[in-house]
Amino acid sequence: MKDHTKKILIIHGPNLNLLGKREPHIYGSMTLEDINKQLCERAEILGVSIEVIQTNHEGVMIDTIHNAEGQYDCIIINAAAFTHYSIAVRDALAGITVPAIEVHLSNIHKREEFRHKSVIASVVIGQISGFGAHSYILALEGAAKLIKQEA
């Protein structure tokens, strides 16, 4: 039987390419490249494969989610601003069978009122927020555990 390495897709949403420069008092000083490097290192330890994308475009995010079907075992998504208003991203996640974990660097529930509501929360298996860059590591550990249990 062929060995199947579990694959996780990590989607970084709009403006996350500005990490390290954009509002470091909220998002920290790590760059997206720093976070991705940590994710790659942790994925190797966990024995999973990751692919990482960043997009500032809602349609690209939706197409990426659609294309995940049959290609990935789990999605980790920081939909950023799309979290709070994109029914299209929500519907894309709801329309596939790949489980997803929602991630945020900041605690969205301690921020501006409009950030308290996540329209994607009802279609993901869980949400991790408020741990800075470590939110992604926690999500990766959760995803690896989830998909290995399903094997």
- Catalytic residue annotation: 27, 104
Q: Which residues, listed in sequence order, are joined to residue 129 by a DSSP beta bridge?
A: 104
The SS3 assignment for 50 reads strand
**Distance (Å, rounded) from C-alpha 89 to C-alpha 66?**
10
Phi, psi of 144 (to 5 degrees): -60, -40
Phi, psi of 107 (to 5 degrees): -85, 100
Phi, psi of 25 (to 5 degrees): -70, -20
Q: How distant is the alpha carbon of residue 9 from its chain centre?
A: 8
